[in-house]
Amino acid sequence: MILIGRNLSPFVRRVGASLAVLGLPYEQRHYGTVDQRAEILSLNPLGRVPALVMDDGEVLVDSVAILDAIDDLVGPGRALVPATGAPRRAALRALALAVGATEKLVAAYQETKRRPPEFVWPEAAAKLLDQAAGGFTALDMLAKGQPWLCGDAMTQADITVTCALDFADSVLPDFAAGRFPALAALRDRADAIPAIGDTRWKG
């Protein structure tokens, strides 16, 4: 398999970390959406990352769809989102918060760091950061007193929030500093797993 995108993106990274956790070998092409736009467009008409080229040449786009396909590939016994019942609902609730908070965080980064200063909308950026903080605060409460967000077993929600907090520390370091202690401890446990920690952005 070939993963398209750079691990600065928490959405690209969560795919790479998940593949590594599950022991699925892959090659990564570190394409950026500006410098390699043509290459990305040839794989994804939206011009977005991640994309995953499967072994048979099929191309999957969007991390949600990619991770669902990976779970299907490894089967319910190894999937990072439980297949049925209360464990699945718990993982999906945590994952919805983690993905939503990550999306708001990325949007805030783009608003404050990627626009020319004269076009930055401070009120919009503040709202995005407030929404991200709301999601992370809820997850921080969930993480207290247990090793992972859904109990004793790591799920996709843990990988996603780890990638999100590391992204925040890279591009918006004041956002999370000292703010979500239970999540920070969870992130440190996850990053101590080589399959996850080795995917951290080093740019």
* Residue 197, pLDDT score: 98
**Rounded CA gap, 198 and 193, in Å?**
8
Distances (CA, A) of 63 to 125, 134, 157, 190, 199: 24, 22, 13, 19, 16
* Residue 114, pLDDT score: 87
Query: Taking residues 59-84, what's their average pLDDT?
Result: 97
pTM to 2 decimal places: 0.95
- The rounded mean pLDDT for the chain is 96
**pLDDT-derived band at 29, boundaries 50, 70, 90:** very high
Query: 77, exposed or middle or buried, with CB in 10 Å at 0-12, 13-18, 19+?
Result: exposed
pLDDT for residue 115 is more than 90: no
* Residue 203, pLDDT score: 77
* Residue 134, pLDDT score: 98
Q: Is 131:118 a contact under the CB 8 Å cutoff?
A: no
φ and ψ of 3, to 5 deg? -95, 130
* Residue 34, pLDDT score: 85
Q: What is the pLDDT of residues 151-191, one digit of tens each?
A: 999 999 999 999 999 999 999 999 999 999 999 999 999 99
Contacts by residues 170-174 (CB-CB < 8 Å, ≥ 24 positions apart): 170/8, 170/201, 171/8, 171/109, 171/113, 172/105, 172/108, 172/109, 172/112, 172/113, 172/129
**Rounded CA gap, 191 and 198, in Å?**
8
* Residue 33, pLDDT score: 87
**Rounded CA gap, 103 and 186, in Å?**
20
Token output for 133: 């903080």
* Residue 140, pLDDT score: 98
* Residue 179, pLDDT score: 94
